[in-house]
Amino acid sequence: MKKVILLVATIFTYVGVNAQDVLTTEQMNSVYKKEKHHEKKVQHYAPLRQADVMWSRKVWREIDLRQKINHPFYYPENNGIVGAAVTGDRKSLIDVVYSAIKEGSITAYGNAVYDDEMRVPMTQQEINSVGGAKEEIIEVTDWDAVALGADPEDAKTTKTNIVPFNRNTVKKWRLKEEWFFDKQRSVMDVRILAIAPLQEDKDEVNGQLLGTFSPLFWVYFPEAREILINAEVFNLVKNDAERRTYDDIFWKRMFSSTITKEANVMDRKINEYMVGLDALLEAQRIKTEIFNMEHDLWEY
């Protein structure tokens, strides 16, 4: 009887050891088990009443991913091709957001060029065609059959050609946010309302880039936070043990951006009445005006 018990115990021990030898990809690429960002909870905003808001202003700004401080939003690159090499423990911002949209975790709102108030949700067909992605049926000629004497018309077949959404073409993000002064807490605060990826426009005739950018869709930011809170971002201070998430970066305002519009009676963007250096100075003026608004509320 003792021999039987010993044999059973040995078998279970052997099975347990072998089960431990089966490691995940994440475990094989790190010397320790990472759990910090897997189950993080969103930090809720402070309660806000209409009676507490003494002053507010909506501002639109753009984050240029070609600037060094904004590189964590863009890398690692991914052209959308299945099987392409990616960095397993992190994704670019467009990868995180677009994947969540396709899964149904985030709602995307269409007609983004003309409507930034998120009135109309996108259909699944519109989501699948974002950024020039498409499925087209093309005719293919079997030239081997033609060489053997077949009629070229009879040797033609059709197949589906899939053109994926090249996410590397997203070089900017547009933010819609609202600055306000909360008299209950005596602070000037800001909350992001929505974000939109921007893709550079192309000439439909020759395919040349035009230098202008258009939004692909809008996403309600408080809804997207539930996904961004667990999406890791590369740490620019070169410390892999202190990874942040996209929600951390937005919360702490760890990015560089340029104001492109403020709420105005004619609903104009800055580039509609200012050009070049004047537009940059106008954006700086708006930024300074918001700063002075808070500063002038205090008396010494």
User: Is the residue at 146 inside a domain?
Assistant: no
pLDDT tens, residue by residue, 58-111: 999 999 999 999 999 998 887 655 545 566 678 899 999 999 999 999 999 989
pTM: 0.81
Q: Tell me what the mean pLDDT of segment 171-187 comes to.
A: 94
User: Is the residue at 193 inside a domain?
Assistant: yes
Could you list the residue range(s) of the whole structural domain that residue 86 is in? 37-132+167-295
User: Is the residue at 6 inside a domain?
Assistant: no
User: Is the residue at 18 inside a domain?
Assistant: no
pLDDT tens, residue by residue, 264-295: 999 999 999 999 899 999 999 999 999 888 88
User: Is the residue at 144 inside a domain?
Assistant: no
User: Is the residue at 154 inside a domain?
Assistant: no
Numbers of helices and strands, H then E, in the chain: 9, 11
pLDDT tens, residue by residue, 18-36: 444 677 766 777 776 766 5
Those residues whose C-beta lies under 8 Å from the C-beta of residue 207, and which sit 6 or more positions away, are: none
Total residues belonging to the chain: 300
Phi, psi of 198 (to 5 degrees): -115, 130
Number of domains within the chain: 1
CB 179 within 8 A of CB 57: yes
